[in-house]
């Protein structure tokens, strides 16, 4: 399974999964149709599947147009998003499985950003080192999504599920927010040497207009303050020893940053 990162809108990423054996494709969170159709044309591939993580327009905006182009397309999304995702036909819950390109993905229910958010995790294929996590707006490189419909307790529970995945998991998050996320992260975890190094590397990448997605979970666990609510340094920075309260205070600061 090959994964292609397609820039969309102002800072979104769409992910196109390609099965070279069958020359079929799936797309994760198609914000707009044009980049998807262009990539399909270049591959000569048939689109069979949409995997949506949540209902926000910048993740489902192209569903209807793609369904018109490919009438047999199957649209997956969370069961709690029923009625909110255009064209949704499959309603997924925690622990469900999805199949694509001879790979089996596991579905995680990860509310917080929205009440119905899900993520898709594909373990490493035989002979490969990296797993693939498509997490929408729950976990970002250096950050996490705003809590529009969920609580800090829900988001900590959701991020805990993702944090427990293997370190060799690629994080295919849906926005190029990394530089701003790390600009904030150093204000609450400034003595973190791994974070300081990452910040410098990301600044250099963005000066060259290079993408910072995908990230890798092992790096996120060392440098992302929204996965480090148990860190004594982070707890001291926000004056809390309670993990959920620590997360909530860090999130609140980020909202105002």
Q: Is 239 a catalytic residue?
A: no
CA 189 to CA 198: how far, in whole Å? 13
Q: Which pair of tokens denotes residue 203?
A: 């600044």
Which helix (DSSP H) or strand (DSSP E) does residue 49 occupy?
A: strand 46-51
Q: Is 117 a catalytic residue?
A: no
Say which of 19, 59, 96, 117 is annotated catalytic. 59
Q: Is 137 a catalytic residue?
A: yes
Say which of 19, 29, 137, 189 is annotated catalytic. 137
CA 42 to CA 224: how far, in whole Å? 36
Say which of 18, 19, 54, 55 is annotated catalytic. 54
Tell me, rounded to whole angstroms, the distance of Cα 210 from its chain centroid: 18
Q: Is 59 a catalytic residue?
A: yes
Q: Is 57 a catalytic residue?
A: no
Outline where DSSP puts E strands in 73-211. 74-78, 90-92, 97-100, 103-109, 118-122, 131-136, 139-140, 143-144, 169-173
Residue 87, CA atoms < 13 Å, CB-side half-sphere: 22
Say which of 29, 58, 81, 189 is annotated catalytic. 58
Closest C-alpha to 137, from 83, 48, 57, 198: 57
Say which of 18, 29, 55, 56 is annotated catalytic. 56
User: So which residues are the catalytic ones?
Assistant: 54, 56, 58-59, 113, 137, 175
């Amino acid at each position: 399974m090959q994964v292609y990162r397609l820039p969309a809108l102002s800072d979104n990423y769409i992910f196109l999964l390609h099965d070279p054996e069958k020359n079929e494709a799936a797309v994760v969170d198609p914000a707009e149709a044009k980049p998807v159709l262009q990539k399909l044309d270049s591959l000569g591939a048939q689109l069979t599947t949409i995997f949506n993580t949540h209902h926000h327009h910048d993740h489902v905006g192209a569903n209807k147009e793609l369904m018109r182009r490919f009438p047999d397309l199957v649209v997956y999304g969370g069961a709690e998003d029923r009625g909110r995702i255009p064209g949704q036909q499959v309603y997924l819950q925690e622990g469900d499985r999805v199949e694509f390109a001879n790979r089996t993905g596991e579905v995680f229910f990860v509310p917080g950003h929205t009440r119905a958010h899900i993520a898709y995790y594909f373990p490493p294929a035989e002979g490969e080192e990296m797993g693939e996590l498509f997490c929408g707006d729950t976990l970002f490189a250096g950050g996490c999504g705003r809590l529009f419909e969920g609580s800090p307790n829900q988001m900590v529970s959701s991020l805990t599920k993702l944090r427990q995945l293997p370190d060799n998991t690629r994080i295919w998050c849906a926005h190029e927010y990394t530089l701003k996320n790390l600009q904030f992260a150093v204000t609450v975890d400034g003595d973190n040497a791994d974070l300081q190094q990452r910040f410098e590397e990301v600044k250099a990448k963005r000066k060259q207009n290079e993408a910072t997605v995908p990230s890798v979970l092992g790096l996120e666990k060392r440098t992302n303050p929204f996965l480090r609510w148990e860190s004594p340094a982070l707890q001291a920075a926000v004056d809390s020893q309670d993990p959920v309260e620590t997360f909530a205070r860090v999130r609140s600061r980020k909202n105002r940053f």
